[in-house]
Amino acid sequence: MRTLISLPLALALATAPGLAAAQAATPAPAGGVDVAAFIKRDIFQDIKISPNGDYLAATVPMEDRTGMIILNRATGKHTAAFALGKNTHVGEFTWVNPERVVISMAETFGQLDQPIATGELFAVNVDGTRAENLVGFRVDGGGAGTRIKPKESERVWASVVDTLAADDKFAIVAIVPFSDEPWSRAERMDVYTGRRDIVARAPIMRAHFATDGKGEVRFAQGYKNDNYSKLYYREGDKAEWTLVNDEAKTGRVESPLGFSPDDRIAYLQVEQEKGPDAIVALDIASGERKTVLQDDNVDPLGLVYEAGAGDGVVGAFLMDGKQTTVFFDADSPDARLYKSLEAAFKGQAVVVTSTTSDGKLALVETYSDTNPGDFYIFNRETLKAEHVISRRDWFDPDAMAPTEPFSLKARDGLTLHGYLTRPKGATGKLPMVVLPHGGPFGVFDEWGFEDEAQMLAQAGYAVLKVNFRGSGNYGRAFQQAGAREYGAAMQDDVTDATRWAISQGIADPGRICIYGASYGAFAAMVGASREPDLYQCAVGYVGLYDLMMKYREDSTGTRSNRVYLDDWVGPLDTLAGKSATDMAGRIKVPVFLAAGGEDTVTPPEHTRKMERALKSAGVPVESLYYPTEGHGFYTEKRRLEYYTRLLDFLSRHIGGAKAAAATPAP
């Protein structure tokens, strides 16, 4: 249970503009699941401390947008609030100096389940003044009557590359034009006015940049229409670019991660022919390379940066079952900081999200499989942690279902990893829901608090997730093993994991349902068709069901799109008979389908075609369509109805609990 609470800050966050104070979830009635608790938005999404430690900036989800507030740490009072119109969301935000925050915006296009970045940059001071649209299509040009050259509305995608810790006025940003063949630029931007000067032009299309400790652009990585990654390096702002790695020749991708605190070493993430990616230290002066991190099982998940004003890379996170932290120097101050925090928050993953420029205060997030997340301010001098707020304080971590990592051998000997969530305290054979993830390529399930798994566990189900071949996190070879394996080897992995759960006495073989979204919905339908006696029902949510239709939808853009489809899905002339719609006649079990009318990723015609094919084959099928929802339902009322329907469907076919109450959407 949580004990250290800073009341002024917690109260201020919980009563932010447009957000009602969170109420603790009441226990669900016997036999019922409190669905509303699982679909309720977080109290906040992210919090970061200012460089001088005087303020906190936090993103606050609201009904139809996400805003940001700035709080005075001493008083707990709001000093600034920022939000735009309906369907707009504060995405990333960065303290660029002690008084100013730069904000990257996102929007929900076609009611996607997650907002996507628009490429706009806004900024605001801690007192709410000098709010400016710095880059993007919404920029106000200023009009006539001014002698200052106005900013221009631009169709570009911008992101902060380097905040330039030693410079309070400028930051380095990447500017990518909206075009089929974009050539990126790195520019020095005034964080107050938005004026920019070019400091580097990328030598390759679709490039992103990496800077050194002085803010000079040193690496550019991108790709042309052949989709082969190329990495370039230069010695400084006046130097020419040199090709460091060409995937077409080496057979691997090399990505820049950053520099050591003294700028003598550049760190690269390097794919390997076999096994997970390595982090390689490149000595800038000599060109010598040395592998400083390579796990036996997983890729680097993220980077650990030195605390304080610097941003040197000092270690990495790994997701090998649960999150772990590895440092290049195990005796460094940052390594000792994490060691002490992980000891204090035993059983929790720990991430330092931001620090003051002197390194004395750290904003720390902790989370676990049963805890959606807590934020603390940790004082490195007093070694005390002050609890700021919980993401979702209506959940009691002690009452949540634990998630256990597992591994098994697929039928061809490939090692697979996954996660099993069982109702707290449950023993013996349970009804089970198999939940293949979407994507499918590069996406992967990981350890942490996951709403659907917890909801299903509360209903009495074991929940099985497997990172089938093609998933990310396990190296290049593992991901490429899934290429062109839609409905084939990728599907065999899901089947093998299901049979493993039966053999381990986890699943009741007569009460198993397969359920997924997007590609996961494809896997659910194909799984039910290829293994008609293994599953007792199947559910597809905003699904992809027709591969030929999807190929035609996605191949209308650049040549790189078509190359990607050919490489990963398969050439169009090889896809006949491989779609879930082609296999509908083999399904023997009841099916539930749900889709959104504004889904631009897997348009609703996929679901309608699947429904028609099932009905033609005499398969019992139920459906739910919302004309104004998209690739994942966004509004709480409609999510409540969907999950109420889902639990009812599962209950009728494999016997778990239903929702405690249903509230129909308008």
Structural tokens at position 155: 């169709």
Terminal alpha carbon distance of the chain: 38
Single-letter amino acid code for the residue at 586: R
- Which residues pair with residue 59 across a beta bridge? 68
The C-alpha atoms of residue 102 and residue 65 are separated, in whole angstroms, by 18
pLDDT of residue 7: 31
pLDDT digits (tens, 9 = 90+) for 347-386: 999 999 999 999 999 999 999 999 999 999 999 999 999 9
Contact 629, 598 (CB under 8 A): yes
The C-alpha atoms of residue 304 and residue 341 are separated, in whole angstroms, by 14
The DSSP H or E segment spanning 201 is strand 196-205
Residues in the chain predicted with pLDDT less than 50, given as ranges, are: 1-29, 110-112, 142-150, 663-666
423-429 contacts at long range (C-beta below 8 A, 24 or more positions apart): 423/457, 423/458, 423/460, 423/461, 423/462, 424/399, 424/400, 424/457, 426/460, 426/462, 428/505, 429/505, 429/506, 429/507, 429/508, 429/509
The C-alpha atoms of residue 541 and residue 400 are separated, in whole angstroms, by 25
pLDDT digits (tens, 9 = 90+) for 235-286: 988 899 999 999 999 999 999 999 998 999 999 999 999 999 999 999 999 9
pLDDT of residue 17: 40
pLDDT of residue 114: 62
pLDDT of residue 664: 45
The C-alpha atoms of residue 613 and residue 86 are separated, in whole angstroms, by 38
- Which residues pair with residue 89 across a beta bridge? 66, 106
Domains, in order of start, for the chain:
401-545+580-659 (3.40.50.1820)
